[in-house]
Amino acid sequence: MPEDDAVPAVNYKKPSTVWAVEYTDERQPGWRFQAGAFTTEAEARRLLRKLDKAGTYGELLINVIPVHRTVEDWEWDR
């Protein structure tokens, strides 16, 4: 990162984080689907456990997604 970019812009906003519970479906190989997304990891894990117990979903995972306000904010975080 160039030195003049060592400090974020004045209007920079730190990204929010979303925890998305995703699953696969054997009827559509290679695809992933979202069962739900949450603002806390704890809630995402609760849903993951619930879906796992149901046993009707393929592979389950939690995808952590940073949500930026602008492309410039995203670029700063690279």
- The domains of the chain are located at 15-70
Structure confidence by residue, pLDDT tens digits, 11-66 = 899 999 999 999 998 899 999 999 999 999 999 999 999 999 998 888 999 999 99
Q: How far apart are alpha carbons 48 and 17 in whole angstroms?
A: 17
Q: Which residue has the tokens 């975080």?
A: 77
Global confidence as pTM: 0.80
The pLDDT confidence band at residue 5, using thresholds 50, 70 and 90, is low
Nearest C-alpha neighbor of 9 from the set 75, 78, 65: 75
Strands (E) in the chain, as ranges, are 16-23, 33-38, 60-67
User: What is the mean predicted confidence (pLDDT) over 63-74?
Assistant: 95
